Chains A and B, each alone.
Chain A
Amino acid sequence: MTAVRKQMHLAAHFPGVNNTTVWADPRSKSQIDFSSFEHLARTAERGLFDFFFLAEGLRLREHNGRIHDLDVVGRPESLTVLSALAAVTERLGLAATVNATFNEPYELARRLASLDHLSGGRAAWNVVTSSDGFTGENFRRGGFLDRADRYTRAAEFVSVARALWDSWSPAGAARPFAHDGRHFAIEGEFTVPRSPQGHPVVIQAGDSDEGREFAASAADVIFTRHGTLEAGRAFYADVKGRLARYGRSPDGLKVMPGVTFVIGDSDAEAQERAAEIRRLQVSPQNAILALELIWGRDLSSYDPEGPLPDIDPDPDSALVQGRVKIADPFATAAKWRALSQAKGLSIRQTVIETTGRQSFIGSAQSVAAQMEEFVAEGAADGFILVPHLTPGGLDDFVEEVVPLLQERGAFRTEYSGATLRSHLGLAEPVWKG
């Protein structure tokens, strides 16, 4: 008897703002025009993907007191784009990253429920917190919450949102709600009936112990960076192991690492292409910037093709604003120096070597096999694919890899339901009226 294969879940990350989009490629188009979002979303739906994913950033990064100008920047507001995409797609899930620190539960729960209605049950919310007070300068709230408070606020935020989504009975009767907690004291009546999938899907992205615990208690999907097989298995075991504490089954939380891919006619050709992509992602200017993120010092006078600086990092530096801080810059600098000396690498070569994140490289056959192995080995339930080209970066994958995954029985051949919850195999939340 042949065992039924476990099918993987697939999501498409829109390659907008970041430093991995190869914007210098002539095929790279606008990251702002609606036509770009439409192209990628339609491609993902043609590939029967579970959902389309938008990241969020609420402040432009700064460097040395000036706006950073090397990365792709500029992005429209996610929930608004997704409402528009609901008009040009039929089944694809629509996931927005929205910060829980600089929003209010009533308003955001209403916007998410609205998207769920307007899309017929396809909305998802990736709950992020914010890592700095720099972002706070754009908001009434201002300032910054430390890590522990960020997650208690996020957890309370999600539970309030769920209470609001439950405040209408499935039969369509509105009931008043009241919540009095540490971060929020609100009451009234929610204006939107229970949404087509009960609650929009909740995604969590954040890797600390607090973040993982929050995901285990409240999320349907966890978006992780653990894209190697070993790290993936450890992460997977860790978060799945936390679920029992909340009375949840391991199937109730889907682990989806963000992964990149490069497809070629052969494995060798794909490797060559991947090297070229890395070279374009790490321009000489970006190589120096990557170093400055660790050293916290202005290194603009260094030659990207020369050796690493022998000065020490400045741990208290405010050179770079708007990026997650490196926890131990001294250790990282030492590791990079050792690597560079051992292999005789320049600054740029060292950065290419250490920050490489191409997860799956090879022919379509071998990419499909690698992905399947991840799922079989308990390192992931599926993947959030991060293309390096906007908006055509998913075309090859959908044309070449998806059919192979389907042949192997590792991916669906049609959507069986209409809602994102049904694509993900998640039960509709029990109404707690």
Chain B
Amino acid sequence: MSAIRPLHLAVALDGPARYDADHYVGLARLAERGALDFVTLGDSFARPGLDALAVLSRIAPATERIGLVPTVTTTHTEPFHVSTAVATLDWVSRGRAGWTVDVSTTETEARLFGRRPAAPATDLWREAGDVADVARRLWDSWEDGAEIRDTATGRFIDRDKLHHVDFEGSAFSVRGPSIVPRPPQGHPVTVVDGTGTASREEAARHADVVLVRAGAPDKAAVIREDVRRRASAHGRDPEAIRVLVSLAVDLGEVEASPEPGLESRPELAAGGSYFSGGPVELADLITQWHQDGAVDGFHLVPLAPGRDLERIVNGTVALLQHRSLFRTFYPGGTLREHLGLARPANQYALAGGTS
């Protein structure tokens, strides 16, 4: 039997909209106490709440190790701004940034911008793939060490280490280079939900972390194999992809009444995974799925983070640590290090070209 892969754990901070930073800082610090890989915060232009990337930037100086992964939609935004904002989250968190790439399919969202009508998910995911692609090119458009401060020649940068990206996609083009130097991780971690068919191909092409929603280990294993096969077809090393099951969890069985604002349970997509029970049972479920080798870890989506996160960290995670299935401290500083992913080589430095 092959050695069991390291277990990765992430947790979503989503819940009823909150507009104060302290709420999110408190949750992220709690998750950091459990040495979790990263926290996520979902976003959409039509969801009540603050801009997720801004919230996680606000959290960055208030935490030290935990990865910070906001959802960033790519349908109505400028790819250039998206790439610089995610790169900046990596700079202000000193290498702890990721982003969950998503699309905006609804007419409601389209009308907030008035620039283009709603479009089919397959088209928007293709475009999202282009955004992920151009973001990586822009992150690479400054080679490491491009800033030289050479007093003898008066040159601040070595312009041979800066590159136009000259991206031409079907929906947009970007000339480059970026205005932001290459971020600490080289590439902040790209996360894509690969459950649906529309997004799976782009997940296989671009994602470092693929989220899947599946109700049973064998279903998750099938998606994982499919993602790995597609990634190989794109010339990627499947070992450099982490597949996490996104699991909605409700640890509130013992509660008499739900948290204010939580009148109904989150809607679960077809085939979605949902857990309801106590922290120990959750630890057992994670242990079981992980030992089956179905997945690399879990992205836990608590029904009420303000209530459930405490139970996850002090109950579930503590137990997994006790069983030596999960780390008790962060051996590294960056999100890539937590995930066991290498800092990517620069595509332009490899090509050795100048621009």
Interface residues of A (CB under 8 A from B): 17, 23-24, 32-34, 38, 57-60, 66-77, 79-81, 83-84, 86-88, 102-104, 106-107, 110-111, 113-115, 117-118, 137-142, 174, 184-189, 191-193, 283-286
Q: Which residues in window 328-355 of B have CB below 8 A to A?
A: none
Interface residues of B (CB under 8 A from A): 17, 19-21, 25, 45-51, 53-55, 57-62, 76-81, 84-85, 87-89, 91-94, 108, 111-115, 142, 147, 149, 151, 153-159, 162, 171-177, 179-181
| Inter-subunit contact A114/B76 (CB<8 Å) | no
A-side contacts of B113, CB under 8 Å: 104, 106-107, 186
Q: How far is the CA of A141 from the CA of B147 in the complex (A)?
A: 30
| Inter-subunit contact A117/B20 (CB<8 Å) | yes
Chain A residue with the shortest CB-CB distance to B18: A117
Q: Is the interface of B mostly helix, strand, loop or mixed?
A: mixed
If the complex has contacts A72-B156, A115-B54, are A87 and B115 also in contact, measured as CB distance less than 8 A? Answer: no
| Inter-subunit contact A140/B171 (CB<8 Å) | yes
| Inter-subunit contact A286/B154 (CB<8 Å) | yes
| Inter-subunit contact A111/B112 (CB<8 Å) | no
Q: How far is the CA of A75 from the CA of B53 in the complex (A)?
A: 18
A-side contacts of B21, CB under 8 Å: 86-87, 117-118
Chain A residue with the shortest CB-CB distance to B162: A67
CB distance from A41 to the nearest CB of B (A): 11
List 22 A-B residue pairs with CB atoms under 8 Å apart, sorted by A's residue number: A32-B181, A59-B175, A67-B157, A68-B159, A74-B157, A74-B179, A76-B87, A77-B87, A80-B54, A81-B91, A84-B93, A103-B81, A104-B76, A104-B113, A114-B51, A118-B50, A118-B58, A137-B174, A140-B171, A142-B173, A187-B112, A191-B48
Choose among A33, A110, A284 the residue that contacts B51 (Cβ–Cβ < 8 A).
Answer: A110
CB distance from A73 to the nearest CB of B (A): 6
| Inter-subunit contact B92/A191 (CB<8 Å) | no
| Inter-subunit contact B142/A74 (CB<8 Å) | yes
Closest 6 CB pairs of A and B: A83-B57, A84-B92, A80-B88, A137-B175, A76-B88, A285-B154
Q: How far is the CA of A69 from the CA of B94 in the complex (A)?
A: 26
| Inter-subunit contact A67/B159 (CB<8 Å) | yes
Choose among B17, B58, B81, B159 the residue that contacts A69 (Cβ–Cβ < 8 A).
Answer: B159
| Inter-subunit contact A186/B159 (CB<8 Å) | no
B-side contacts of A66, CB under 8 Å: 159
Choose among A59, A103, A140, A191 the residue that contacts B179 (Cβ–Cβ < 8 A).
Answer: A59
CB distance from B41 to the nearest CB of A (A): 12
If the complex has contacts A76-B180, A114-B55, A191-B48, are A81 and B159 also in contact, measured as CB distance less than 8 A? Answer: no
